[in-house]
Every structure is written in structure tokens, then in C-alpha cells.
Amino acid sequence: MATIEVRAAVYRGDNGDRLGIEQLQLADPEHGEVRVRVRAAGVCGSDRHVIDGEWQVPLPAVMGHEAAGVVEAIGAGVRELAVGDHVIIAWHQACQRCAECTGGKPWACTRVRSNDSQLPDGTTRWHTADGAAAWPYLAVGAMSERIVVPDFAAIRVDPRVPFDVASLIGCSVGTGYGAVVNNARVVAGESAVVVGAGGVGMSIISSLRLAGASPIIAVDVSEAKLAEAKRAGATHGLIGGADLAERVAELTGGGADAAFEAIGRVATMEQLPGLIRPGGRAVFVGLPPEGQELRIDGLQLAYDGKTLIGSNYGGLVPARDFPRVAQAYLAGELPLDELISTRVPLEEVNEAFDAMRRGERTRTVIVFDEDDTAGAAN
């Protein structure tokens, strides 16, 4: 079988939390698959859970799951895509056939788990120099110069969207948008609070502004991030703390209509139901380490008729929602350029995760060519 050589960020688990830049072999796309030349890959939070040992995946792992690029080769039977198409990659490559998939909930697919590190057929197209299988994290392996994915996981996007912005739509931005539009179904005039102003939190804030929510209250421990959140559309910024519920109640007249937790910390997840008014919705977007339990006031939940919503990939239907987000960006309604704080080459991936661990940078994007940024001339 024909293969090509690709440079990729690989986690082996034998060098602490460091990724190595390795030369891997990538097999040609098979039936129904496409090969994409990755032009931008966002450094998104769930990779950090893996390389910090909090979640287990098959190793060695080709890291990254937030990608955009150009279709470079197509396998037999691919009809929807052509070489040269600009695409955003969906990391949950659902079966497209089961009752959940056909019912508009591909994130709940009963045949393909959303956290699989393999292509839907159970295999991988990547191999190490010595011939061992290497597994694409979340079935994407975005931190690789080229990737192979099923055609339905590569969603065509308007080529006017810069690659770095497009990559974010594949996870952090898409997830934030979906949490607002699909999970909480926020409508104009509703009040909202967002706990955690990192990459996904900022996407939620931008999407709340798009939906017409007001007020939009951002909560973080960093004044710098709160200032950024206000630029993205937050009307108020609060430093978190034990009295958060009272301060939110004051600003919203008794609690927000919708609250979002975008960190995955047990302490802030447990605070969330207390931030919403009776009948409100609390959406859990951040993912905690495995095996963590929450304590929630049962009487408050039942008597106040509150709704707790788990958000997996923002309830996205990628083929429907990615183009909607892209169009909102092109119309100037979603300021996604502002979400990208830093652009780096693949070789600086470890420093990008270090910055994330320190709570710095809204979002780092790995760019594979210097002209792949929103700031570059098109």
C-alpha cells in the first residue's frame, strides 16, 4: 500500500507530558476517505487531559483534534468532496446510520464512541518508522502535516475563512456555538453566565452575543481574561469565588436564564445550578478528569425546576452547523479572529501546552505555513 511521510506531534507516554515531533508513514485514503493537507491545528484542552495522564488513549497517539486544511487526495467512492476543497474536520466521526445519527444527534451515536482514537472501521492510517500503528487522537490526529479521515468528517467551508479560524470551528468554537444554540437554545434577551474564559468559554460568549443574550456575565480567575471576554461580547466580568451565586443573582434579578461551565473543574461545576433562576438551564461543557463526582442540591434542582444539560461536542451536527458558524464569521457577527492569541509552528507544541497549563493564552493555533493566518493577505 502506498504511503507518504508526514511530520507529526506524537505522545508516547514515556517522556512525561512532552510530545515528540516524529516522521510517520501515512497510508493513502481508502474507500470513502480523503487525505487532507492540514494547514492549521488548534491546541485544544482535551489533548492536555491525555498528555497529563488524566485520560487514557491507545499509544503512540498522534495528537490534535481541531483542524482545517485542503483536500489533497480522495479515495474510491467519494462524491461530496474534490481535491482543492477547503475543509474543517469533525472529530466525532459518527456512523451516520443509527437511530441517533439519523435523528440529528450524531454525538450520541450508538455505534461509534465520540472519544475513539481510531477511524470508524477500527483501524488507523498512521504508522511509526518501525512499522507500529500510531493512533489519531479523537480520530483526527490534527497535529500531523497530513491526515486521512472519512469523507463525512471533512466539512467543506467557504475558502474565504482563514485556516486558523476554520480550525477552531472544528472544536472549541463549534462546541461553544453548539452549547448556546443546540444545548441551551438561548434566545434574544435571555441572561447568561459563563464560568471559564478560556478557548471554549470565549466561544460561548461570542455565540451568546450572536444569539442576542443580555446580560452576558463572564467569570474567571484572571482579570486579563475577563478583559478579553468583554471584547468578545461579555457585558460584565466577575472574579470567581464562594459568593458567585449572589453576585450573579444581583446582576440578573434572581439568577441567569442559562449558565455554562467551560472548565471541567468539580468546584465550578457544583456551583453552576446555583447560578440559574428557577426554570433555568445549566450546561456542562468542560470535561473533568475521569471518575469525578458532583454534589448538587437535590431539593433546589427539583423544586426550582432547573434543567442540567450535559454537552457533548455542543450537540453539533457538523455538516449543518460548521457552515452556519463560518457564515456568521464572514458576516462579521462572530469575531473569531480575536479568539486566537498565538500562532506557532509544530515544533513549539510543548510550549503551547505549557502556556495552557499556566492559564495563559486564549487559544494557540499551530500553523503549517506562514500565510495560513487571519491576518495574512488573502
Residue 44: active-site member: yes
User: Between 175 and 235, whose beta carbon lies closer to Zn ion?
Assistant: 175
* 57 lies in the binding site for Zn ion (CB under 5 A): no
Q: How far is the CB of 260 from Zn ion (least distance, A)?
A: 15
Write out the three cell numbers for 127: 504508522
* 94 lies in the binding site for Zn ion (CB under 5 A): yes
Q: How many residues bind Zn ion (CB under 5 A)?
A: 8
Residue 236: active-site member: no
List the one residue out of 365, 43, 375, 325 whose CA is nearest residue 157. Answer: 325
Residue 98: active-site member: no
Residue 171: active-site member: yes
Q: How far is the CB of 377 from Zn ion (least distance, A)?
A: 29
Write out the three cell numbers for 141: 490526529
List the beta bridge partners of residue 24.
Answer: 6
Q: How far is the CB of 42 from Zn ion (least distance, A)?
A: 7
User: Between 109 and 325, whose beta carbon lies closer to Zn ion?
Assistant: 109
CA distance 226 to 245: 18
Q: How far is the CB of 247 from Zn ion (least distance, A)?
A: 30
164-172, 254-262, 266-274, 311-319 -> range binding Zn ion (CB under 5 A)? 164-172
Q: Which residue among 109, 147, 173, 204 contacts Zn ion (CB under 5 A)?
A: 109
Write out the three cell numbers for 250: 444581583
CA distance 279 to 259: 12
CA distance 222 to 57: 32
Each residue 10-49 as x (binds Zn ion by CB under 5 A) or -, in order, gives: ----------------------------------x-----
Q: Which residue among 9, 68, 155, 171 contacts Zn ion (CB under 5 A)?
A: 171
User: Between 191 and 207, whose beta carbon lies closer to Zn ion?
Assistant: 207
Question: Which is the catalytic residue, given 117, 171, 172, 311?
Answer: 171
User: What is the torsion angle, in degrees rounded to the nearest 10, for the CA atoms of residue 151, residue 155, residue 158 and residue 162?
Assistant: -100
Q: How far is the CB of 95 from Zn ion (least distance, A)?
A: 3
Break the chain down into helix, strand, coil percent, rounded to 5.
30, 25, 45
CB distance 278 to 306 below 8 Å: yes
How wide is the angle at C-alpha 15 spanned by C-alphas 341 and 342, nearest 5°? 5
Type of residue at 157: V
One DSSP character per residue, 178-207 reads HIIIIIS---TT--EEEE--SHHHHHHHHH
Q: How far is the CB of 17 from Zn ion (least distance, A)?
A: 17
Write out the three cell numbers for 255: 439568577
* 101 lies in the binding site for Zn ion (CB under 5 A): yes
Rule CB under 5 A: which of 110-149 touch Zn ion?
A: 111
69-77, 103-111, 263-271, 338-346 -> range binding Zn ion (CB under 5 A)? 103-111
How wide is the angle at C-alpha 303 spanned by C-alphas 297 and 308, nearest 5°? 60
User: Between 50 and 275, whose beta carbon lies closer to Zn ion?
Assistant: 50
Question: Which is the catalytic residue, given 44, 92, 117, 172?
Answer: 44
For residue 6, what is the enclosing H or E element? strand 3-11
Q: How far is the CB of 228 from Zn ion (least distance, A)?
A: 19
Q: Would you tell me how many other CB atoms lie within 10 Å of the CB of residue 298? A: 8
User: What is the torsion angle, in degrees rounded to the nearest 10, for the CA atoms of residue 197, residue 199, residue 204 and residue 210?
Assistant: 110
94-102, 126-134, 210-218, 288-296 -> range binding Zn ion (CB under 5 A)? 94-102
CA distance 162 to 172: 16
Q: Which residue among 27, 98, 133, 344 contacts Zn ion (CB under 5 A)?
A: 98
User: Between 43 and 74, whose beta carbon lies closer to Zn ion?
Assistant: 43
Q: How far is the CB of 171 from Zn ion (least distance, A)?
A: 3
User: Between 102 and 292, whose beta carbon lies closer to Zn ion?
Assistant: 102
Residue 95: active-site member: no
CA distance 135 to 137: 6
List the one residue out of 244, 292, 283, 281 whose CA is nearest residue 262. Answer: 283
Residues that bind Zn ion in the complex, under the rule CB under 5 A: 44, 94-95, 98, 101, 109, 111, 171
Residues annotated as catalytic (active site), given as ranges: 44, 46, 49, 65, 171
